[in-house]
A and B are shown apart, each in its own frame.
Chain A
Amino acid sequence: MADTSRTMIVWKRRLPGLIMTMPAVIVFTAMFLVPTVLGFVLSLTNWNGFSLNLTFIGFENYLRAFENPRSVDAAIFTTVFAVVTTVVCNLVGLALAVLIAGPGRANTVVRAVFFYPYIISALIIGFLWSAMLAPQGVFNSILANLGLPSIPFLTDPAFAQTSVIVTGIWAHYGFSMILYIAGLKSIPAEYYEAATVDGAGPWARFKNITVPLLAPIVTVNIVLGLVTALRVYDVVLALTAGGPAGSTETVVFQILKNSFDNGKLGYGAAQGVILLIVTAVLGIGVTLARRNAEKKVAD
């Protein structure tokens, strides 16, 4: 009797907390946690997307993902895309951030000009660049007007892959730059003053003050850059639709094509699980590896 009334009191105290957390927990569980677990389950089946009956086929989908040349090529291109865009976005972003981190109206305007593609949908960016680079597009019209031969920006595999990568960089380096500017603003000016008094030149100051103190931002930029780039899809769909001859298909492109165009959702789910594992390993791996670089600063 006393026991039940005590539990009653405890529950009454906990009730507001429960009411405040439960809606979020329920939505998140139903639409995120359950699907994540279900993704592993579906990857072991040959689900076609419509029936709710599942036949388990073991790890066949995974074997197929590793054996199918199409999906292997997609994985290779996605990796190249992720590494190249991340490296270039960081180098360009940092260089420009150093140039325009200071206050002033001109710097603010330039910052907005470099950054604006980031807030436009990647799909629209893809269509815009497709209009620029298509065989009858703007750039080839300009070349033709100048009496020059046309360039197969989107119709030759190597050119098309380069076009996708360049478009990715064009749209994304501004974001790296913005993060670097935020980082630069947080470095106390006294450090630079002290270094100048000690006779350090601009390059020495950049190398010995800016770079080490930006280490945490570098980590964030690399992790975010890689994780975002590994999911690249919209821009490819609009720019090349995966072509020519599948040369610009990415992992997510494969996942969605297999799942929704070919009705092999089990196979798509397996590729999704692989992507999830690669993303998690890379994200955690880079963060741990960078921890050393960040530690050096703290010492």
Chain B
Amino acid sequence: MPTTETISTALVEGPEELTLNTTAMRAVQRERRRARRSTPTSNSVGGLILKWTILCLVAVVMLTPLYILVISAFKPQADIIENPLGFSPGSFTFDYLWASITSEKFNVIQAYGITLLFVLLVNVFSIGLAAPAAYVIARGQSKWHLALLLVFVSGLFIPGQVTLIPVVFVLRMLGLIGTIPGFVLFETAGTLPVTIFLFVAYLRTVPRDIDEAAALDGAGKIRAFWLCIFPIMKPAVATVIVLHSIGVWNDFVNPQVILGPSSGIYTVTTGVYAAIGQFSTDYTTVFPTLLLTIAPAIIFFLVMQRYIIGGLAAGATKG
């Protein structure tokens, strides 16, 4: 029976390695592919036409907003309103996109930099804190280790917005409200449950022989972990990086509340909110700004698609 666990264990090893670890399994997989290709839905012509009609209709619904966004970023306001779906070469212009890039209201280049910095810091801290802790938890056998795991995992069920208000109180007491360290600390803490959960699950599949081999080398436990165990955790680390990068890049509420407009530190999302919230009917500002903010996410998605989809599926089915 495929349980959630078996699926996700397979998924952690990468989307392409689903259940095909040995040659025998690979043969089964090939057989399975052949079997699926010959299911009745796909071998009757009528079924094929119906299937692709449905898929194309849904694809149109999915892509129309994106298409309008892209063409409208290069058109003047009158053209956007009078001819929303069409595109005339005569009115094509880079002016509005350039105006958005150089806008004084929203410095998009700086926002990219700041958001990337946050993505990097949260990933480094989250993995740096979680990996050794997860290792101790995964290898430990006392009730304390189990209790520690339960405490961390309980965080999976607590919505971030619920802790946000009290966190403002805590950060105010620590003097970290409106600062980058304060934001990164909170954001990192929010990622720890998922990270530790996925790392512990992964480390339990890593044989203990490796620990012993590392110990024989005479390396201390901490050194042995970083030098011998951590490199093995690559697939789990990749999953976690995918999850956190998307999460931090897209996060709006946490930077908005913790950094606040008064700090002058804008991420991509809080910057867009500040820039567009005020004049949302001036589409020559709205569309180029949105294009600039969506473009990095779309490019990242196109390049990393396989890892993103695999990572998200793994993260979700594990949790």
Q: Is the CB of B290 within 8 A of A34?
A: no
Within 8 A of B (CB), among A170-210: 170, 175, 178-179, 181-183, 185-189, 192-193, 201-202
Choose among B37, B82, B165, B253 the residue that contacts A39 (Cβ–Cβ < 8 A): B165
- Most chain B beta carbons < 10 A, residue from A42, A118, A182, A256: A182
* Complex contact A186–B10 (CB within 8 A): yes
CA–CA, A132 and B249, complex, Å: 24
CB pair B317–A256 under 8 Å, yes or no, is: no
* Residue B146 at the chain A interface, CB threshold 8 Å: no
Number of interface residues, chain A, beta carbon within 8 A: 104
B273 within 8 A of partner (CB): yes
State whether the Cβ of B246 lies closer than 8 Å to any Cβ in chain A.
Answer: yes
A111-B309, A217-B4, A276-B162 given; A123·B273 CB < 8 A: yes
CB closest residue in chain A, given B223? A16
Distance of A128 Cα from B295 Cα, bound (Å)? 13
Determine if A148 is an interface residue (Cβ-Cβ < 8 Å).
no
Bound-state CA distance A130–B186 (Å) is 31
- Chain A CB within 8 A of B98 CB: no
Instruction: Tell me whether A27 and B192 are in contact (CB under 8 A).
Output: yes
* CB contact under 8 A between A121 and B169, given known A170-B62, A202-B40, A272-B161: no
Which of A36, A186, A268, A275 gathers the greatest number of chain B CB atoms within 10 Å?
Answer: A186
Verify if B250 is at the interface (C-beta below 8 Å from A).
yes
**Nearest-CB distance from B65 to chain A (Å)?**
6
Question: Would you call A279 an interface residue if the criterion is a C-beta within 8 Å of the partner chain's C-beta atoms?
Answer: yes
> Are B68 and A27 in contact (CB-based, < 8 A)?
no
Min distance, Cβ A173 to any Cβ of chain B, angstroms: 9
A residues with a Cβ closer than 8 A to B are 16-17, 19-21, 23-25, 27-28, 30-36, 38-39, 41-42, 47, 49, 52, 96, 98-103, 110-124, 127-132, 134, 136, 138, 141-142, 145, 170, 175, 178-179, 181-183, 185-189, 192-193, 201-202, 213, 216-217, 219-220, 224, 227, 230-231, 233-234, 237-238, 252, 255-256, 259-260, 265, 268-269, 272-273, 275-276, 279-280, 283, 297-298
| 12 contacts across the A-B interface (CB closer than 8 A) | A21-B136, A24-B130, A42-B169, A52-B169, A120-B294, A124-B272, A182-B7, A186-B6, A220-B317, A260-B257, A272-B164, A298-B1
